[in-house]
Structure 1
Amino acid sequence: MRSILFFLFLSAIHSCTFKDDRFNEYFNQIDQQSTSLINQPKEIIKLSDKELEKYKKTGKKEYLISSKYTKMYLFRDTNLKQVPLAYEILKLNNDEYEFISMSCNFNLAFQFENSSPKLAMQFIDQAIHWNDKLKITKYTPHLYHIKGRFYYNQENYDKALYYFDKSLKSLLPDEQYFIASMYNNFGLTYDQLNKNDLAILKTQKGIEILESKNNLRPDEITFLTHMKGNLGFYYYKNGDFLTAEKLLLQEFNYYKIKKLYSNSIMTSERLFDIYAAIKQTDKEKEVIDYLVGIEPQLQKTHEKINVNEVIQKYYSRHHDFNNLQKISEKLILLNHASDDENHRNLKQTSDILNNYMLKTINEKSDYEINSQKKRNTFLMILIVLSVTIFMIMIIYTRKNTLKEKEIAENQKLILEKNEEILKQNIEFQEERIKNLQQNLHLKMETEKVFFENIKQIKKVKNTDIEKTLNDLFFKISNLIEIDKKNYDLMTESYGENDQFIQKLSNGFPFLTKKELKLCIYFRMNLSSKEIASLDNTTMGTIRVYKAKIKSKIGLEKNENLTDFLNNI
């Protein structure tokens, strides 16, 4: 019998799937293929379909993950599609493969960089956490780079320099493009710290590194030109207008020839400031005419605002009040449009997060219910199998003990004892199932409270996403704390609670329904924080109720309410 039960448990163990570490490298290869096809959407779709076919043939979820992961490169500029897809892949992966956890968190950090910097920082920290567990190290410098950029955006320049330096130290010597980029970041950061000499020194170093590379790619040439423009700006701030103009004109003319209108806006503004400082009106006018010409070609509202602000500055300097009024009115409309876009983006991002959170909670609840049913079914099967096997053993034993009456009588006594043990075992199993069901019920009651909190949050219009997310994370933490207490409640039955309330109500009829309900929680020795989460109220309110109940039932201030209730 023991051998059969052992075989059953062994089979259950082997039916589980185990992680294949080779898939981390496989996902890395899929990422490289997708990157090489970044401007070929049809080829990306083909690659995704190919991975999906592998999933259909083998049933391995890893190929479903790789199929969805490839599609992320189709939506790299579409936040509304990128964010839900990244969450879906993370859920499917379930922290099993470090590469997927790292890459998806890295992607989400990018998506929330502007709309929610705090959330973006949490995602990049998660990406670094998973990257540290990987044997693949080529992504490490890029993760540190992004974290440094986030600190730069927050104007925390000391930490920005720290992570830029960590990124630089983790790059390989032949990665000149990224090494030059780090020196450019040093220059930008020192510029913000008003250390122009250091900014010039670091940027010159980055330029020299990239110029030393043979056969520069088009994107590397563009970045090299951009660094020279930054260097020109630092010279301008140091008062070296001649060198500044020379470098900025190189950048300006490059963007002009390549028709990189978005890139040329900042360069145009810097040239305009130089010409304004040295009072070269004709060259000022040339820059303004260029900006007026490219403004209709720009697609993004914030770029149009930047261009028109430079033009407005020009009209203001030259007292052209007629054009100044027109451009000011245009800027007002553009700023309104920009505010509307930002509001829509924040709302859409908020909706994505809320929908994902609700969907995840619902699925988690369904999963736990189904898991509990499966566990109960498995226990019942074990019991039935145990009884069946035992009955077979009884029959077999009786056939072999008919020869001798004395042996048969002894065997009968043994069997009766074994039957009693089996009966006790069945009763124990039934009691265990009952306890498990009660524990699940308490769990579901806890989550219902959380659902009510979510619904209330969604009813409030103009929700601040940062505040909403912080509130959600706080309540989730409360749920986890209450979960830890659930094990202490497994043997508590609802019938016992009804009897307790009846006794308490008879003894103290002046207690309200609300106070009777709270007495159940106090009897369980739950903390004010846990009760507040279950009852959808504040810890302060729970403390007031506790003091009021002690007063009503005549307990002194130093007497323990939990001990009193447990003695009822």
Structure 2
Amino acid sequence: MESKYYTKNVPVFKIAKGVRSMVDKLVVLYFAIGISLLSFSQNQQKIDSLLKDFSSQKTTIDKVKTLQNLVEAYKYYDLNKTEYYAHKSLKLSKTTTDTLSIAGSLYQLGSLKKSMSYLDSSEYYFNNALKLWKLTDDKKWLASCYIGLSDVYRLEGDYDKSIAAINQSIVLSKSIKDTFSEALALGNLSSIYRNKGNYTLAYTNIIKSQKLFEDIEGKTLYKADTYKSIGEIEYHRENYFEAIKNYKIALDVYKKENDYNFQGLTLNRIANAYISLKQYESAKTYATEALNLAIDKNFENVISSSEFLLGEINYETKNYKTADFLLNEALIKYRSSKNINSIYTALLVLGKTATKTKNYNAAKTYFNEGLLIADTINAPRESQEFYYYLSILNLEEKDYQNAHNNLKRYSIIKDSLSKVNNARDIAELKTIYETEKKEKEIALKAAEIEVLKQKEAIAKNRQILLGIIIFSIVLLASALFYGLRQKMKRNKVEREKLDASLQFKEKELTTHALHLAHKNEVLLDLKSQLKELKSGTDNSRSFQKVINAINLDINNDNNWEQFRTYFEDVHKDFNSKVKRTFPEVTSNDLRLMSLLKMNLSSKEIANILNISSEGVKKARYRLRKKLSLSTEESLQELIIEL
């Protein structure tokens, strides 16, 4: 599996395919700020925020951390700025004594140089970072560095050193139970064995990696990488449709997550598979899409891979001149970066092109150089291909002895690889993995069903409880409503009784008051008549006696007390309220106010109080003064309101 950190891998092609180290994914783990799941605009906002932070930060350590975060933010979008901030970070970190900051900056530059295929520089930076992390005994970062170095050794073709470094990383990862780093290392180990042509071990390790990633939350891009690696194994096993299927699963994720570098690499892988299927138009479509994307994003590794593939397509479609030009362009870039895998693959196709154009000397030069590289780095898969095409070249030259010898060497290596790569073993590995995966899915579905059942039971119980609550509320409301209705009925009956009683008492009071007024009126009239008779007779003393009796009856307090009793039955607390509100009011004033409360006429009031109508007016005037009423205010209304 290849690094997510700009790993400039070898091109995708039939014989020797570059593979992706996952070393630099640990950068994401430590330095990344979550940009892999952000859109470009969101990433730009983050970059703006980091630049703003950098300008305001005061300590050097903080500035270094921000620069390291800027490297992570730019790595998918702008290679030039990535390199600028990586160098700036290292330069600034060296002004401090903080070992971790310096080591982190060295590591980022190692990853970047590897992605640009500057393998010597990459190895230099990784080794220096490794030395510093050994001082701090940071096993997590040591594991990461060994993965990076392993990838460099793989690209240089030194598979023994590559395996040794990756095994160091696996041991360290297991010692600290770092499942993520272990999964990355196993993916890298799979890539090494794939390059060596041992597909059984390649499959064994990529399945182990995939299983570990499945148990880690998130890590979408890394899971996609495992599908891409499986695609590459299937490609080398000549299962091209299966390879394309796995490539496309990975490609969908890379597009969704805006991983432009790996979009380009995977597009090239798909193009390579279509070349093997002799579907050259489809191959050209994918290779051209990859090239355009790489030019736009300045990904040199993808550009060289795309040029190589377009050269191979031209070779297969017999456009040998164009093929030779494109392949040489790619070879120049590969030699500059010292990418061994890419070099011997370009040499192979250039040799085939030269053979077709009968430029046998050039072809022999290409094949011999490639064979020397393959044998030196112990790459039997590539060696067998060079021997095969050398035998074809020998036949073209009618050199039958060398043709026979080279074909024999080809057959020996092929048989050896066939024993190593037992198809049945790989099929069993795939079956075991698929079975375990299905069992996991079944167990997961069973668990989901159980959860759904529990949720359904809880929901059902909630509904029952809700029903009981609603029923109880309705029942309680009904009882309250019924009780309220009964109370309202009782209140109505009582109110009707009270109203009837009040009406009766009011009628009784009015009758009594009118009776009292009428009686006093009769007595006064009688008194007036007796006074006239008295003046016309000598028996004045007898008349005076009767007149006194009449006066006594008119002014009898018992009559008034009886009236007050009737009045207070109708107008509860009237007298006490008047006294509380107007304490200066006298008992005579209270009598007047009681009669005014009954809305009696002045004549009726005068008869009851045994005063003249003029006396009533004077009494009303005195009462207004005591009550402090203005001329605009009504005495009658005030008393009625009381």
TM-score normalised to structure 1 length: 0.43
Higher RCO (CA < 8 A, seq sep 6+): 2
TM-score normalised to structure 2 length: 0.39
